[in-house]
Chain A
Amino acid sequence: MPNFLKNKKTRRDFVTYGLVVLAFVAVSLMQANHMIPRMIVGQLVPICAYIVMAISLNLVVGVAGDLSLGHAGFMSVGAYTGIVAATSLAEAVPNDAVRLVIALLAGAASAALAGFLVGIPVLRLSGDYLAIVTLAFGEIIKEIVTCLIVGVDERGLHVLFNLTGKLTVDDLGLAEGGAAIIKGAQGASGTETISTFFAGFLLVMVALVIVLNLVRSRAGRAILAVRDNRIAAESVGISTTKYRMIAFVVSAALAGAAGALFGNGFSQLSATKFDFNTSILILVFVVLGGLGNMRGSIVAATVLTILPEALRQFSDYRMLVYAIVLILVMICSNNPTIKGFVARVLPRRRSNEEEVSADA
């Protein structure tokens, strides 16, 4: 066995990478043989985007221990930056793959910047106060995006900020042949769909490597230390704000990239797509997958994106069922009496859970 694989956690990480690669190969093969229902095929890119969202939010909520309720805001920043980048470079960079990479990088960079700016006030708080302020920032970002009107023509990008709600695309004054990219409250439309399942898989791998390597490094230990005991972490010379900020910005950047992937996967994207409910959806992935458990996040994001689609036959009842399942899962996995009962019936499950809590 190579030297670096002797570490139990490193081994665990490589198993995770392997499983993701395997899942990708399996799904690709099935897709090539038309074994996947149409409705799931359409969900492949969003699933990848949601997996990256879950991994990145897990870094903040699970690893750094800061409850963020506005993660969709960063996805939104990344999505619209990515759409604008990809659409405006349509002629300059004809290769779709290269253009997508540029869009993802642009989305990540802009979301990282947003994360840094939001982080300055947010990280002075903690607990429920932090949660409510991230929620507030999520809503603020959503409303600002709703006010944006962006178009492109041969003279370059045109941006309007629709403060009064009276401006329209016509006010951009686009030259002949120009196109509006973001139309205020209507969001983006006419986007060329350049995101592919393969790109999504690569992004998932990149996000996994970044987050797992970060967690297993000096900075990651510092982040975990701050979560476990802030005062002790400071007493050994760790600047708590710095490391919470690193987690927050890395997480925002990955969310931005996920947003760009998502945004460039649909020809139409409404401005209110990334609202509070999306943030909550991602948080549910993270909590059900296990705090700090990246493998769990991946599984939860996949299953919970497919599940509502699979439940379509129950149509009206599906969200009700989803809600009840959510409540029951939380109660069963957290109530000491029920947990004790489950542990007695299925002794193996218990050891699994311990591994998860020790993982992080």
Chain B
Amino acid sequence: MLLTVRKISRSFGGFELKNVSFDVQQGQYFVLLGASGVGKSVLLEIIAGLTHPDDGRIFLNGTNITSEKIQKRKIGMVFQSYTLFPHMKVYDNIAYPLRTGYTKHQIPKRVAKLAEDFGVTGLLKRKPQTLSGGESQRVSLARAVASEPRCLLLDEPISSLDAKSRPRMRALLRKINAKGQTIIHVTHDYIEAASLGTHIAVMEGGTIAQTGTVDDIFQHPKSEFIARFIGIRNFFKGNLEKPHLQAGLKQFRTDGLAFSVLTDSHAGNGFVCIRNEDVIIHNPSSTAEPTIAGNNFEGTIVDIVRFGPGIEVIINIGTNNLKTQKTANVNPLEIAALITAESAKALNLHCGKKVCISFKASSVKYVEE
């Protein structure tokens, strides 16, 4: 294990970190995902030695570094505000960590190589104040990598960049990680986390709510907060009933509707989430026959919005009768479906149109409360 964080606690200015523990292995791209103000940045500062914890311990390669001086830790940090030295040119910023460990002749070569790797060769003679956000971030990364850290900490490295610079920065971060650099990346953006991380720790209320691989987190969110935070749009609270359908299939009731759910969980209160890409839309005239294991509903389109590269269609299934679920209710219940623009056109979708939706029982994730 490269980095072990054990029961770190720190209270300050109205919020606190409570018993934060996680492990990071060599070469992992570990993302700390959480809302603003949850203490992610402070946790990074504690790992880097910039802030001391009230309690807990940090181990790097098995050595307790909780009280180790910042300059002895060999942990690089890229701050959200870049923290480039304003009185030094880009060259001197990148060369700063090289003054120890490299000879005078080696430094220019090393800076040139780093500048090339990070796409800042043309900026070496410029002052940080003249750089754009993306350029400053790349210089800051180059400088941190120049210090050859055992672990590289990144505090929201992408969120402050403009949309044009983001893909380049993501590609750069993947490249650094692919070379074996262990990275801990703090972000509030679940898309950023999913697109970069090999492992994710979701922070909630000053503690780690769930840790796992990207698939673990996105396929099996442990709580309502995590499900919502990682962008699952279709989220319904309700009650899981005792099985009376096929083996493993159970009924989940919410707001008068009932979903078929494939789960081993016991009956009780909980919530279900359905990813919007698992919801299929078809016209009512479609010949597709619903199955007993499936979830098939009729509804009315209430909104159509662009969602990343696709189209998200919001359908109210609460005010319509059901094809297979016989529960009658008139409460509005909206469900989001993600489809391609071509499908939206082919289906001739528009607000107010009646459509049918379906999703498999196995795509409904049930989480006990």
Q: Do A and B come from one complex?
A: no
